[in-house]
């Protein structure tokens, strides 16, 4: 079983997450894990969830949903990277964020 863990470690290091632009999200399948970078346009912090609006160079904006234990310290204008899964909510693509970091 130790060998299996070592193999999984090396395999996971080779898995790459595709970085995409917001305008390409409509072409991608639901459930795919992606990475996007953009500027925080709006942040709404609720008790156990935060909603972000992320914008890129043009006018494209995507909603990001974060399930959290505590408030996040992001502000409008912060440049961030989000890794998460594409989901559909009321006919619009959004990202359920697994990892968000300021860059």
pLDDT score recorded for residue 2: 60
pLDDT score recorded for residue 55: 93
pLDDT score recorded for residue 70: 76
Residue 52, class by beta-carbon neighbours within 10 Å (0-12 exposed, 13-18 middle, 19+ buried)? Answer: buried
What are the E-state strand segments in the chain? 18-19, 33-45, 49-55, 61-67, 79-89, 92-102
Is the domain defined by 17-102 classed in CATH 2.40.50.140? yes
pLDDT score recorded for residue 73: 85
pTM of the model: 0.75
Count H helices and E strands in the chain, helices first.
1, 6
Nearest one of 16, 17, 23 to 93, comparing CA atoms: 23
d(CA 72, CA 66): 9
pLDDT score recorded for residue 51: 93
Averaged pLDDT in 10-residue chunks for the chain of 103 residues:
59 68 89 93 90 86 87 87 92 90 88
């Amino acid at each position: 079983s130790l060998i299996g863990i070592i193999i999984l470690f090396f395999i996971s290091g080779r898995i790459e997450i595709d970085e995409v632009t917001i305008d390409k999200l409509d072409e991608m399948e639901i459930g795919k894990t992606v990475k996007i970078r953009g500027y925080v346009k709006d942040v709404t912090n609720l008790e156990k969830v935060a909603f972000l609006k992320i914008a890129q160079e043009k006018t494209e904006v995507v909603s990001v949903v974060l399930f959290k234990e505590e408030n996040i310290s992001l502000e409008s204008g912060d440049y961030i990277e989000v890794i998460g899964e594409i989901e559909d909510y009321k006919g619009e693509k959004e990202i359920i964020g697994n990892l968000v970091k300021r860059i």
